[in-house]
Amino acid sequence: MLGFGFPDDSFEMNIALNPHVMGIDAGSTDNGPHNLGGGIVEAARSTTADDLRRILTASRSRRIPVVIGSAGTSGSDSGVEWMLDIAHEIARECGWSLRIATVRSELHKDYVKRKLRAGKIRSLGPEEPLSVQTIEETTHIVGLMGVEQIVDALDLEPDLVIAGRSCDAAIFASLAIREGYPKGLAWHMGQILECGAMCSEADHGAAEPMTGIIREDHFTVGSPKRSTVCSPSSVAAQSFYEESDPARLNLPGGHVWMGNSRFEQAQDGWVNISGSEWRESDRYEVLIEGATQRGYRSITIAGARDPYFISSIDLILDAVHETTARRFSDDFDLDFVVYGRDGVMGHLEPTPIPAHEVGLLIRVVAGSQTLADTIIAFVRSSIDHFKYPGIKATAANLAYPLAPGTLSCGPVYEFSVHHLMTLDSPDECFEVDVGSYS
């Protein structure tokens, strides 16, 4: 992930294999809806610039293109601009002239509304059908590009492609598909490479660079670094990563069928993969994503050690919830997360038995920061001084690890768009541009 660093030694070793393209993912929806909703970039600017400078230094001397996908975390236009600005700054600093292609993926709301009215947008599963009102309330909407749009950018022979929101695998599959290699193999290779060495047995994780080598009938993944060892099961595990179906990777324009994929150990900790098939669909659908501001959040973190308090905790929290709802007529969300009991899993927890001490996270989301702060102060004080049956500790009920004990967290976002949109052609809503920066 761009901006989070990578080790020098394995970067040098992988680069020494003379790849034809270098790719790096710079975004995701995984951190939550705030990146897209608020245009918030997850990585720091300084570390992003450090990573990009190292990558470009290596790529320029070898005259190979670099592809960055999901620029600025969300892949919105502001994310692409942010990344372009960093690349331009590096070019100036280093005295380079960089030919940079950008692919924008942010969608105009009027365009999305037209697509909705034309019946070109559908739900994936658990999501509500999209409505015009939701589109209007959404701050930013992006489309996830596939390989076609990155291929268009690569056709412009740039030093660097800065792509907006992209399918992670497309970053690594595009050049191979442009060169005519089978789509099933190329996409599957991209899926495995997108999280770096998470496809290996060693505990290196996503920061470690990996290499994929594609042929007509198979591809090979691995790393020249000796301690990065891939096995058929580690590579197969990565093939499924973050997908809902074990045999198919759904992608713009079709899917990769992995039901017949074979994973075979090759020498030196590399793995050969074959049999992955591209199955074209009758329409070109892209995922569209959007997030909207829900309100403002305030929180309190506290602990409790008193066994009488812990055994009455539900009674206390339910009563405080009720009192708070009576006290404030405005719309707000209040919830309590009880760590040491079911804090991590909530309703999914099969054994909600409290430990001898519990942590309590109190969360309020309301229409303004002032209101959220006001409500949380009321909730906190109500719990502190709640006289439950059998109480012995009459001083106060909660142990606060922080002073001030409440935190104003600012705007809160939620995903509002996560739907499939049919395009008439792959370039319908993506804008490719190129320029020289020095």
Partner 1 sequence: MSTTLGEVASILRSKNAGPYLLTLDVFFDSTEAFNQVKMSGIITDSLVSRCYGIDESDVINLGWHDSARGLKITIVRPAVSGSPGDRDVYGCQQHAPLLGVKIPIDI
Q: Which residues bind partner 1 (CB under 8 A)?
A: 29-34, 124-127, 232-233, 236-237, 239-247, 258-263, 294, 297, 333, 335, 337, 343-348, 350, 363, 365, 412-415, 418
Q: Considering the complex, what minimum distance in angstroms separates the CB of residue 262 from partner 1?
A: 6
Shortest gap between Cβ of 11 and partner 1 (angstroms)?
26
List of E strands, 28-110: 66-73, 98-104
Q: Which is nearer to partner 1, 47 or 260 (CB)?
A: 260
Residue 365 corresponds to which tokens in the numbers above? 């989301």
Q: Which two tokens stand for residue 231?
A: 């096995």
Which residues face 421 on adjacent strands? 121, 286
Return the closest-CA partner of residue 37 out of 273, 384, 296.
Answer: 296
Beta bridge partners of 340: none
Distance between CA atoms of 312 and 315, rounded to whole angstroms? 5
CB of 58 to partner 1, least distance (A): 31
Least separation in angstroms between CB 377 and partner 1: 19
Q: In the complex, what is the shortest distance from the CB of residue 345 to partner 1, in angstroms, rounded to a whole number? A: 6
* 95, 213, 294, 299, 378 from 400: Cα distances, Å: 53, 55, 27, 12, 15
Minimum gap (Å) between residue 229 Cβ and partner 1: 14
Nearest residue (CB) to partner 1, 95 versus 126: 126
Q: Which residues contact 390 (CB under 8 A, 6 or more apart)?
A: 308, 312
Q: Are strands 98-104 and 160-163 parallel, antiparallel or unpaired?
A: parallel
CB-wise, 4 or 308, nearer to partner 1?
A: 4
- Between 297 and 380, CB nearer to partner 1: 297
Nearer to partner 1, 57 or 123 (CB): 123
Minimum CB distance to partner 1 smaller for 275 or for 405:
275
- What CA–CA distance (Å, rounded) separates 322 from 355? 26
Shortest separation between residue 157's beta carbon and partner 1, angstroms = 34
205-237: b or e for each residue (b if 16 or more CB lie within 10 Å)?
eebbbbbbbbeeebbbbbbbbeebbbeeebbbe
**Which residue's structure tokens are 């690594």?**
172
DSSP state of 208: S
- The smaller minimum CB distance to partner 1, of residues 18 and 244, is found at 244
